[in-house]
Structure 1
Amino acid sequence: MRLGMLTACLPGLALEEIADWAASRGYEALEVACWPGTGGRDFEAAHLPVASFGEREADATRELFARHGLELSALAYYENNLHPDPARREEIRAHLRHAIDAAAALDVPYVGTFVGRDWTRPVAENLAEAERILPPLVEYAGERGVKLLIENCVMEGWHPDGYPGNLAYSPELWEWMFSLGLYLNWDPSHLTWIGIDPVETIAPYIDRIPHAQAKDVELRPRDRQRYGHFGPATGREANPWDMGWWRYRVPGLGQVDWPRVVDRLYEAGFTGTLSVEHEDPVWGGDETRVKQGLDIAHRTLRPLIVG
């Protein structure tokens, strides 16, 4: 097992700057964000120009990672592959293919994305649509030696009412997506707030978990007494990502039991990268605070991982 980090939390830095800092702080791998950098969610980051990626870029990237002794564990382009706007959906699909091509050029085995959801249609119709459009992407990746990873994030902010916007949030849905040839970028934080014990999901699905993300979550049960499990019903326009009774934290500052998680990953035979995904609002807002949060995450997880 290697300890890595997702670069998306530092969108203002170049990949070379992130690699230099991460290696100096003891991180062993980077999960590299490769959004197109055209706006959208405020945590988009474009750390590899995958749409224009060629041999020169591949050589430079390999040299950068070799110089810092880092592994490039996966490319990250987490977007809505079931977007209701056909034009936007095609943009996403085209960029995902670019990410797959770049991963293949770099011998990176994984590209991460979302199943997503068309929030104007019921779940059953979304699943049927996914069964039509996702297998060709799985095949495209497989022909290039790449596996598509799906993170189990709920993406409640994509749905106007705060309901799941990514149909990959539960083991029930994992089993469905595995049948399409997809793999799981397992993240315990999302499971925790929806009421699933993350530790109990490791062993049954370990053969489809080649990569994992380390994010924590702080639950506030007293606030849940006002909103219920589904969060605020009014005023969501101001911040569609605020569920009112929980927030993401860096590992060690929330409810996730990291000694149990890492131990169970080892017991199940996990040999991939555990990649810190920093979305902690307390340790965010500027580069200094984000890096301090990443240091907290490293201090929490590093003692648990066999050197």
Structure 2
Amino acid sequence: MKIAYTGWTWLINHEDNYKWEFEQFLKEVSDLGYQAVENFAFITKYFDNDADEVNGLLKKYNLELVNLYEHYTNDPEADYQSALEYVDFMKRTGATYLNLQGVMWEDAPNNRPTDDARIREYAELSNKIGKLCRENGMYACFHPHANTPVFTEEQIDLLMEYTDPELVYLCLDTAHTTLAGMDPVKAFDKYASRLAYVHLKDVDPDETVHPEWPMKRFRPLGVGTVDFKGIYKSLQKNGYDGVLCVELDIQPVCNYKSAMVSRRYLHDVLGL
């Protein structure tokens, strides 16, 4: 399995200095022994769609770009046009996976009643983008996420029912499945046939911590209570040989330390 890290958290504060911050991200995760990276798809605009410049930086730090992450808006046609641009950029950088996520709401609660009509809309769009990806030798991976219409097990099941398994795959996230009330190990077993990409992060189990925004409970690997040994065994049992991408939305200290703690855990505990 290939070990990756996501870079958007280096790039959210100073847009006037994004190229330096992207290179700093690459420098730091390369130093820690990560093999690959992903980033939110906004990286294409930050670099004016210049894949050669990005490829030069990747080569400099001996890293591979494996994934771009697209956030849906409330305009499916615009989202598809964005996907066309992202897939073209991915072809030129060698990336294989395009993550897809539903529109987030910015207030509580993070889990709301199932909206079947919205999930059907996402399924239709995801099938369309999935066909585009397949035609280009790529995988479209939907990422269930807190504060979006596809989060809970029921909502994931509906999305899987409404999408073509040959076109739309899953990116399961160990922390979001935990927040949704699922047992991550059982979730990875259940959805193994649709799994094409994995996000790893830990969770503080104390629900009194940041009840207004539970995603603030996300932690580096080994700091919370997610059963990563069980998840790794599930992945091995089900023949998964893809990317394990570490991510952390909010840093206890800084991005480098979070990435270091997680890399040490993967090496020392899982032997990766």
Same fold (TM over 0.5): yes
- Conserved 8 A contact 2:177-2:184: yes
Q: Cα distance, 1:10 vs. partner?
A: 0.6
How many angstroms apart in 2 are the aligned matches of 1:301 and 1:293?
13
Q: Is 1:99 equivalent to 2:86 in the alignment?
A: yes
When the two structures are aligned, how many residues end up with a matched partner? 257
| AA aligned opposite 1:99 | Y
Aligned equivalents of 2:223, 2:22: Cα separation in 1 = 27
Mark the CA change 1:50 to 1:146 in structure 2 (over 3 Å): closer, same or farther: farther
Structure 1 residues 131 and 74: CA distance shift in structure 2, 3 A:
closer
Task: Pick one of 187, 197, 201 that aligns with 1:211.
Answer: 197
Tell me the TM-score normalised to structure 1 length: 0.73
One-letter amino acid of the structure 2 residue matched with residue 152 of structure 1: P
> In structure 1, what is the equivalent of residue 217 of structure 2?
247
- Whether the 8 Å contact between 1:50 and 1:99 is mirrored in structure 2 is no
% identity of equivalent residues: 19
Report the counterpart of residue 9 of structure 2 in structure 1: 9
Checking the alignment, whether the CA contact within 8 Å between 1:178 and 1:208 is kept in structure 2 is no
In the alignment, which residue of structure 2 is the partner of 1:30? 37
Partner residue in 2 for 1:76: 69
Q: 1:117 to 1:190 in 2, by over 3 A?
A: closer
Relative to structure 1, the CA distance from residue 252 to residue 174 in structure 2 (aligned partners, 3 Å threshold; closer, same or farther) is farther
Structure 2 unaligned residues grouped into runs of 5+: 15-19, 107-112
Take 2:195 and 2:142, find their aligned partners in 1: how far apart are those partners? 10
Question: Is residue 262–residue 304 contact of structure 1 (8 Å, CA) maintained in 2?
Answer: no
Q: Secondary structure at the match of 2:171?
A: strand
Is 1:293 aligned with 2:255?
no
Aligned partner of 2:137 in structure 1 is 145
**Matched residue of 1:195: which SS?**
coil
Q: Deviations over 1:106-160 (max 9, x none)?
A: 23211112144799x9712213323443322222222222221111212x2xxxx
Q: Are the structure 2 counterparts of residues 194 and 118 from structure 1 closer, same or farther at C-alpha, using a change threshold of 3 Å? A: closer
What secondary structure does 1:14 align onto? Answer: helix
SS in 1 for 2:204: strand
Residue identity matched to 1:6:
T
In structure 1, the partner of 2:176 is 190
**Structure 1 unaligned runs (5+)?**
36-45, 157-164, 233-241, 284-288
Does the CA contact (< 8 Å) of 2:152 and 2:181 recur in 1? no
Q: Distance in 2 between matches of 1:50 and 1:208?
A: 32
Bigger mean CA deviation after superposition, 294-303 or 137-146: 137-146
Superposition pairs of residues 222-233 of structure 1, within 5 angstroms: 223=208
Is 1:260–2:260 an aligned residue pair? no
**Match among 206, 229, 239 for residue 220 of structure 1:** 206
Shift of 1:305: 4.5
1:62 is displaced (CA, Å) by 3.1
Q: 1:103 to 1:260 in 2, by over 3 A?
A: same
Report what 1:130 is aligned to: 122
How many angstroms does 1:93 deviate by? 3.5
Whether contact under 8 Å (2:29, 2:259) holds in the other structure is no
